[in-house]
Amino acid sequence: MAGRLSFANITALAPMVRVGTLPMRLLALDYGADVVYCEELIDIKMAQCHRLENEVLQTVDFVAPDDRVMFRTCEKEKQRVVFQMGTADPDRALTVARLVEKDVAAIDVNMGCPKEYSTKGGMGAALLSNPDKIEAILKNLVSGVSVPITCKIRILPSLEDTLTLARRIEKTGVAAIAVHGRFKEERPRHPVHCDYIRAVAQAVSIPVIANGGSLDLVKSYGDIQAFREATGASSVMLARAAMWNPSVFRSEGPLPLDDVMIQYLKYALRYDNHAFNSKYCLCQMLRDKVESVLGKRVQTAQDNSELSAAYGLEEFFSETQAELQARRDTLRSHDRCEDDLITMDGDITTMALKFQRREYPPQLTPKMFLLEWSRRQKIEQPTYQTVQRAQDRAFQSTVKVENREYRSSLWEKSKKFAEQASAVVCLRALGIPDGRVGEENGRQLHKRKFEDEHKVDEEKRKKLTVNDRETRACEDKT
């Protein structure tokens, strides 16, 4: 198929947990990597995500029910990013693959990670002892999605078993095999077995990507070709060598580490990378300098502002934050214009809006405002009916107030957000303050109105108390 990613004669950024996030992938591409892999993402967690086009960051985010961004990508890497998943279930693997396939260049199955978080549940290197499961997963993916499918394995104790597995994998129709040249129980301190990788490369006709040479063989760009020749592989995949200095992909030679870290941090700020993930990656680059003055500032930083200050990027941080905020304001203004359009779906009043938690003060929600209003009006409290859509597990809620129903025509990622969205529709349709920060009819107006009404009620109570006392005095005299 035209435009499909080729794995022949490439140099790739290997999948690395906590390292292979968007800033590192983009940096590796800038420095000359042909292909970049994301960190391993577990199928169970990814299957719960919904796809969100983030117009502020100009990214595509896959967001978990708890609002965590599990995978973030952007147009710049779309044709060269490989999504790696951890899975032991053919059907669940296909569900995740179909969720991400339009936003990535290929999908890889992790069959080599020996760490417990990957092997539990039969994933990662645990799959090596279950070739039937490997075949089922790969066949399901190859036949079920339009992008190339690959897998990454470790070598087996027997060369014959390794070659048998490689040939069986090839028959599933995968586009390439990445081979980490160590046994499951071996660690980076053990030498890489180039002879095993060479044997696999000779046994199959699809591209083989050599992995595991960072400590022994690959320390600079010039070593990449030497590792390729030593293994006879079509391509090379770098993990730790790239983690320590992503400019290892530069044919002109590596850049000073300080410059590399600054460029990494600029990407991290631009794409709102979590500060603790950025800290981890920066500390990996610092390596033996992690206890230096700079290293200690990085380790003690609690947010992106403090990380920026450590590298003298305060002005860049401020400019980036201002740019992102301007985009938020523009989108919010546009969204509110769209939100104002009230339509009818049968007898149900609808508006096309989503609940934006950041627009409301902490501990105050539209549901609370609607409930309080209902109590003051002395009507039955609102009731919510929520449904879940099967194909993407999204939610839509309808709220009933005084025998009239209201809902958002847009679906939400959680039941709670769907109920809040329906409450907002009801409040706006009735012209009642919904509590948004900065709104003229928002929290302060609502608060003043409540306080005024409370004051009136208090005055009535005092007046009744006075009248009651006068009545009792008269009764006593009588």
Question: What length is written for the chain?
Answer: 478
113 is catalytic: yes
Q: How far apart are CA 30 and CA 24, in angstroms?
A: 10
Among the listed residues 11, 9, 22, the one whose alpha carbon sits nearest the alpha carbon of residue 238: 11
Q: How far apart are CA 206 and CA 178, in angstroms?
A: 11
Could you tell me the two tokens for 290? 């992690």
Q: How would you classify the pairing of strands 106-111 and 41-42?
A: unpaired
Q: What is the DSSP string of 66-79?
A: TS-EEEEE-GGGTT
- Strand order across the beta sheet in which 342-345 lies: 342-345, 348-351, 404-408, 395-401, 383-388
Q: How far apart are CA 36 and CA 25, in angstroms?
A: 6
Is the distance from CB of 49 to CB of 87 less than 8 angstroms?
Answer: no
Catalytic-labelled residue, pool 38, 74, 113, 426: 113
Among the listed residues 276, 268, 273, 283, the one whose alpha carbon sits nearest the alpha carbon of residue 313: 268
Among the listed residues 237, 153, 239, the one whose alpha carbon sits nearest the alpha carbon of residue 203: 153
Which phi-psi region, left, alpha or beta, contains residue 82 (left: φ > 0; alpha: ψ -120 to 50)? beta
Instruction: Supply the residues annotated as catalytic.
Output: 113
